[in-house]
Amino acid sequence: MLTSLADGTLLAEKTGATPPTVIALHGWGRTGADFSRVVDGLDAISVHFPGFGITPPPDEAWGSVEYADALARAIEPFGPVLFVAHSFGGRVVTRLAARRPELVRGLVLTGVPLKRLAAAPKPALGFRILRSLAKAGLVSKKRMEAEREKRGSADYRNARGVMRDILVRVINENYDDDLVKIAAPTRMVWGEHDTAAPVDAAIAASKLIPGATLRVVAGAGHLLEDGLEAEVRGELQALMAEVGA
């Protein structure tokens, strides 16, 4: 059942009773529908973040902190809850857990790009030259947009307007200072073949979160499929039992 939160700032799919025990947060380019089987039978809300699915985008280029602030306003009436988060949703809840620990009872994270183990590669020389020429007004915006489309990731090519600006902002964020502040019990469940958030980076992130555990699911990738979905649900249920939810 569709519900609105914080005066319509966020839209979400609701299952079970209110207040929810679990809040589910989706990845980039996805929606709350990704968690339909993970939260089936639970008192839960699966958020559709602004700019994804049916929720309108924000008016300006938010980062994960602004998304976390919007989420905090939406869930404040519910008190502390458990979160299950994938990819982009994990970026957001990492900010929330560090800044508003009273709202976070526990975390189950999967496929979240929380650490970059190597510096991002520099753009090709030809693109850097074009970019300099564009800044000098010698190359058109249309030409530069075509070059960015050619070189960008699938997420970048699919994003439009303010959502592209948000994507660029978010992928350049650093979470180290927030990871060490997370006090809630944290369980990380990762696909063995996740290329968007590699296992090595997940291991590095897990070492920064006090008491975090990490389990790798053989054969699974980045998305909630290929056995990863069932393992995430199992970890969520185990955490619920652990905290008495």
Of residues 207 and 18, the one with the higher pLDDT is 207
Q: Which of 76, 101, 85, 87 is nearest to 181 (CA)?
A: 101
pLDDT bucket at 30, cuts 50 / 70 / 90: very high
pLDDT, residue 144, reads 62
Q: Is the pLDDT of residue 174 over 80?
A: yes
Pairing of strands 104-110, 186-191: parallel
What tokens does 50 get? 């602004």
Give pLDDT tens digits for 129-161: 667 777 777 777 777 666 666 666 676 676 778
**SS3 assignment, position 20:** coil
Instruction: Please state the pTM of the whole predicted model.
Output: 0.88
Q: Is the pLDDT of residue 92 over 80?
A: yes
- C-alpha dihedral, 97 to 82 to 89 to 208, nearest 10°: 50
CATH number for the region 2-118+174-243 comes to: 3.40.50.1820
Give the C-alpha separation, 123 to 129, whole Å.
10
Mean pLDDT score of the chain: 89
Exposed/middle/buried for residue 224 (C-beta within 10 Å: 0-12, 13-18, 19+)? buried
Q: Domain segments of the chain: what residues?
A: 2-118+174-243, 125-165
DSSP string covering 80-123? SEEEEEETHHHHHHHHHHHH-GGGEEEEEEES-----SSPPPPP
